[in-house]
Amino acid sequence: MSTTGSEKTAMDPQRVIEDDRLPIGKLLALTTAGFLAIMTETTPAGLLPQIGDGLGVSQGLAGQLVTLYAIGSVVAAIPVIAATRSMRRRPLLLLAVGGLLVFNTITALSTSYELTLAARFIAGMAAGVVWGLLAGYGRRLVPEHLQGRALAIVGVGQPVALTLGVPLGTWLGSLFDWRGVFWIMSGVALLLMLWIRALVPDFAGQSAAERQPIRKIFAMPGIGAVLAVVLLWILAHNILYTYIAPFLDRAGLGERVDLALLVFGASAIVGIWLTGILVDRKLRPVTLLSLGGFALASLVLGVAGTSVPLVFLGIVAWGVTFGGAPTLLQTANADAAGDAADVAQSMFVTVFNLAVAGGGVFGGLLLESAGAGSIPWVLLGLTLLATAVVALAHRHGFKPGPRVTDG
């Protein structure tokens, strides 16, 4: 049986609770860790010509720097988080951010394509650990009735990095070349480690008696439903996000991908803000409303054709309704897992990254076989299926009512 926020405070004297005030400085350190992990992943996409020239390979081979990083995250998340459950949380987080520092530095120095790929794979593993820690860490920094808001703050780094990461990396590459960009990210990692060490409190890991087998955690009521929604919703999002350029070409906006992604990112931040306000009191209805809005956005994009206003209306709706998705799903996942939240979060990270990869593969097949105009209709089908899963998971996973009854 789960304990209340006040009971957990008594059990864990290192827990930081400041009445109803969110510890913004501590939470933003976690936000920055998430931002850095995504920035490290996506930056090569905007620097492929430079990286290819620097390593003496084609742009296609240079693009595998993104692929190996993603594979590293998928491979590491569950086994590494499971194996390190007994470790204290801050040293583990510092070790993971330190991994980004070390392997971004190796990438900046390397002249060997093979060594660079290896560095990217291990950097991806470090990122998988970062993502596996953030949700549980953020929740432990606040009382139970503020956990949803805390996750909204921790999660804002993702849409910001997804929106700004590639153009920011490309711009920095024009100033310092691609190696300079990786040096900058190493510097950010070093500063972040100092920030975490100075402000973010440490927490104990789980004792041997507290640790449950991974299969038992996966079988907990609600976990399967949440992970199914993660797969469907993130897959739908990434099909469109990955192939937004060919989709925009249909409306004569092929040269305005940067503007479209900026509008999406700004809208997503609004969605995160709205979700943060409501998630602790109305997790289930906000999840259903967000999925319904995402379905509506897919419908608008499907009928938009060459209408620029409709396309941008659909993009705004897409951003607002998807922005809070990671917060909603991580909150539901952690609630269902209870004290096993870190391992459940590693499952979340694994499914999330598989959905990202699936978006690239499935979207590419869709583009080749049915054209970009089919993308919104596939999104609509996936979203309706996810909505049905949430609707059925009313006893576990996405329960009605507030997450807490007091506070």
Q: What's the pLDDT at 210?
A: 59
Give yes or no: residues 194 and 254 share one domain.
Answer: no
Nearest Cα to 77, choosing from 337, 340, 361, 353? 353
Strands (E) located in 80-191: none
pLDDT of residue 250: 81
pLDDT digits (tens, 9 = 90+) for 214-242: 777 777 888 889 999 999 999 999 888 87
Quote the CA–CA distance of 348 and 225 in Å, as a whole number.
12
CB atoms within 10 A of CB 389: 20
**Residue 298 confidence (pLDDT):** 95
Residue-wise pLDDT for 333-373, tens only, equals: 888 887 776 777 778 888 887 887 788 778 888 888 888 88
DSSP 8-state code for residue 344: H
Q: How many CB atoms lie within 10 A of CB 208?
A: 7
Task: Say whether both 64 and 186 belong to one domain.
Answer: yes
Q: How do residues 111-143 score in pLDDT, each as one tens digit?
A: 999 999 999 999 999 998 898 888 788 888 988
| Residues 120 and 254 grouped into a single domain | no
C-alpha span between 334 and 227 (Å, rounded): 11
Which helix (DSSP H) or strand (DSSP E) does residue 226 occupy?
Answer: helix 223-242
Same domain, 195 and 243: no
186-220 residue pLDDT tens: 999 999 999 999 999 998 876 655 566 677 777 78
Q: Looking at the domain assignment, is residue 344 inside a domain?
A: yes
In terms of domains, do 79 and 151 share one? yes
Q: Total domain count for the chain?
A: 2
Which pLDDT score is estimated for 49? 82
Confidence of residue 288 (pLDDT cuts 50, 70, 90): very high
Q: What is the mean pLDDT of residues 286-308?
A: 94
Question: Could you tell me if 81 and 148 lie in one domain?
Answer: yes
103/42 same-domain check: yes
- Specify whether 107 is located in the same domain as 254: no
Is residue 403 very low, low, confident or very high in pLDDT (cuts 50, 70, 90)?
low
C-alpha to C-alpha distance for 35 and 191, rounded to whole angstroms: 14
From its phi and psi, is residue 188 left (phi > 0), alpha (psi between -120 and 50) or beta? alpha
d(CA 329, CA 334): 9
Q: Which domain holds residue 141?
A: 12-199
How far is 72 from 100, CA to CA, in rounded Å? 12
Same domain, 146 and 73: yes
CATH number of residue 351's parent domain = 1.20.1250.20
> The whole model's pTM is what?
0.76
Distances (CA, A) of 224 to 26, 360, 383, 386, 392: 31, 24, 17, 12, 12
Q: How confident is the model at residue 14 (pLDDT cuts 50, 70, 90)?
A: very low
**pLDDT for 150 beyond 90:** no
Is residue 240 domain-shared with residue 185, that is, in the same domain? Answer: no
48-92 per-position pLDDT tens digit: 888 889 999 887 788 788 878 888 888 887 788 778 878 888 999
Cα–Cα distance for residue pair 46/257, rounded to 1 Å: 13
Residue 219 and residue 190 share a domain: no
